Amino acid sequence: MQRYSYKRMIEEAEASLILSDREPRIASLLLEDLFGIDRVYLMLHEEEEVPGERHGIFEKAVARAAAGEPYQYVTGFSWFYGYKMEVDENTLIPRNETEELVEFVLEQEPDDGRTVADIGTGTGAIGLLLQKHWHKNRVVLTDVSSGALEMAGKNAEALGVSPEIFRGSLFEPLTDRGIMADCIVSNPPYIAYDEKDDMDASVYRHEPHLALFADDGGMALYKQMVDGLPTVLKPGGTVYFEIGWRQYTALSTYIKKVWPKTRPQLKKDMNGQDRILFFRWED
């Protein structure tokens, strides 16, 4: 069996990544994220022999990264709002923009025992981090994907929180159980199918299409939730949607058409893009 030092293993990994038009620094990042070996350790032990099992794991990870698989899927986790969230191919990788949604909801909603529902939770990133920062509020997570809910359950355990987690499409888990919420939060699939050619190839190839795309120009699930508000939201309750950067005008117009007394508002993200549509529901 061929023996490898850390130095040789890193050099070969960097060469492989460069040939695949990927960043060579991914090699050292993988070493740290997979095995906890940072640059200082590597400098001091670069000629040390790598255990065979570790080399095999690293080699497979580099091959996946070189093939264009998202880094977070290769390592099995993503950082979100300062916490490590487990991810896999059943879940969308949490984005930085969604951290802003969590922060905004925490700023706006008091911790007074209200019921907050995270619809289409995926990894659980939104609902779990809300629950982590609240002590009195009841948080309910729903998703149609059993694989995503399994991941949300693992992340809940890792974070030390115990929200209620139910499987079903959009509001179905709430209506089936007679749950009426004070607040609805959702980052649903909102990419139009005709926008797929504009997407990053890695995202399109690897992230679950169930969590990315929606009919009606990406608006279908928003409209279903807006139509169904009386079945799950208490009068005067609040709604927070993460939206695509071109969707605010069309979605706000639809909301005002269905609920004329309701006044949608917009919060832009750190990049100045339309990102959060929110409103207090008036029927």
42-96: pLDDT as tens digits:
889 889 999 989 999 999 999 999 999 999 999 999 999 999 999 999 999 999 9
Residues 63 and 109 both lie in one domain: no
In this prediction, residue 3 has a pLDDT band, given cuts at 50, 70 and 90, of: confident
* 200, 86: one domain: yes
- Please state the domain count of the chain: 2
pLDDT at position 192: 87
| Both structure tokens of 34 | 């997979």
Q: Are 61 and 98 members of one domain?
A: no
pLDDT at res. 1: 54
For the ranges 139-153, 165-179, 192-206, the lowest mean pLDDT is seen at: 192-206
Token pair, residue 175, equals 């209506």
Q: Element (H or E) spanning 59, and its range? A: helix 52-66
Q: What does the alpha-carbon distance between residue 267 and residue 248 come to, in Å, rounded to a whole number?
A: 10
Q: What is the pLDDT of residue 124?
A: 98
Same domain, 98 and 56: no
Per-residue model confidence as pLDDT tens digits over 178-231: 999 999 999 999 998 888 888 888 888 999 998 899 999 999 999 999 999 999
Q: Give the structural domain span for 115.
A: 77-280
Same domain, 186 and 57: no
Q: Which of 3-7, 121-125, 182-186 is predicted with the least confidence, judged by mean pLDDT? A: 3-7
* CATH number of the domain that residue 219 is part of: 3.40.50.150
Strand ranges in 91-232 using DSSP code E only, listed in sequence order: 115-119, 138-143, 164-167, 181-186
Taking residues 101-122, report their average pLDDT: 98
Confidence label for 39 from pLDDT (cuts 50, 70 and 90): confident
Q: pTM of the predicted model, to two decimals? A: 0.93
pLDDT at site 193? 87
pLDDT at 178: 98
- Computed on alpha carbons and rounded to an integer, the radius of gyration of the chain in Å comes to 22
pLDDT mean across residues, the chain: 95
- Decide if 1 is inside a domain: no
Q: Does a structural domain hold residue 84?
A: yes
Question: Residue 103 pLDDT more than 60?
Answer: yes
Would you call 249 exposed, middle or buried from its count of C-beta atoms within 10 A (0-12, 13-18, 19+)?
Answer: exposed
* Cβ within 8 Å of residue 262, ≥6 positions away: 255, 256, 279, 280, 281, 282
For residue 193, is it within any domain?
Answer: yes
